Amino acid sequence: MTGWQHLSLEAGGGIGVLRLTREDKRNALDAAMMEALADLCRQVERREDIGVLILTGSGRSFCAGGDIAAWSAEGPAAFGRHWVRDGHAVLDRLARLRQPVIAALNGPVLGGGLELAACADYRIAEDHVRFGQPETGLGIIAGWSGTQRAVRRFGAQVVRRMALFGEVLSAEEALHAGLADRVVPQGESLGAARDLAQALLKRGPLATELTKMLINAAEGEERERVLDSLAGRIAAASEELQEGVAAFREKRPPDFGGRGE
């Protein structure tokens, strides 16, 4: 898969660093990269050695958004079915990772890059970074939840300012508007993200995971899956499950304590 050459995942000390590495295109996303990102998210979800994920870009860019050359070549049907719907599903997977995600924003956060950053639980922006949603200036919409998740997480008015009126925000403006959680000097976002990740790793891992799920559910991110997951954890830890599985293997009726007798 060609997208793998433009993404990297490093892990150590409980921290994973997922980096976009397509520097010649300012880390713009194409379809192959999105497929690779989905695969990486599946890996991260299952890795017990990663308790926090940091998302960042190589070079001087975080992510310039979707690669215009890639999506403009799609016909209307393919654009809607694959570029928008599939891309939306990939970012959903990132936003719903069990691990907290910290975005180290080291360059422009535009279009799909803003939608990518919105998937993070915490955003650290360098002081030179600009935020915007330029899609309507190209005659297209923000199709990867830029008008949905972004509104839930940042508020409708700031999204209107960027998406409808084309306003581009500085790092400080983004901080005051809630798009960024912290602003640091140029070149310091990754170090600050690592420090924050180290502090987060000292907190209860299960409590952290469950709290993230509950917050996601509260903002409508994945309410049904959260309920099923929490109920499944309770059932999986119960004596009833042990008895039910044992009865199945022994080909006998299960004994759940005589209820109904």
pLDDT digit string (tens) for 145-201?
778 889 999 999 999 999 999 999 999 999 999 999 999 999 999 999 999 999 999
Where does the pLDDT of residue 5 fall: very low under 50, low under 70, confident under 90, or very high at 90 and above? confident
Per-residue pLDDT reduced to its tens digit, 105-124: 999 999 889 999 999 999 99
Domain limits of the chain? 2-201, 205-250
Q: Phi-psi category of 35—alpha, beta or left, where left has phi over 0 and alpha has psi -120 to 50?
A: alpha
Structure pTM? 0.86
**Token couple for 51:** 């308790």
Q: Residue 104: exposed, middle, or buried by beta-carbon count in 10 A (0-12, 13-18, 19+)?
A: buried
pLDDT classification of 64: cutoffs 50, 70, 90: confident
| Fold category of 2-201 in CATH | 2-enoyl-CoA Hydratase; Chain A, domain 1 (3.90.226)
* Identified catalytic residue from 10, 23, 74, 135: 135
Residue 250 among the catalytic residues: no
Q: What is the pLDDT of residue 179?
A: 96
135 part of the active site: yes
CA distance 11 to 224: 31
Whose tokens are 């759940």? That residue is 256
**Which residue in 10, 45, 48, 115 is the catalytic one?**
115
**Mean predicted confidence (pLDDT) in 214-235:** 74
CA distances from 45 to 101, 181, 193 (A): 11, 24, 19
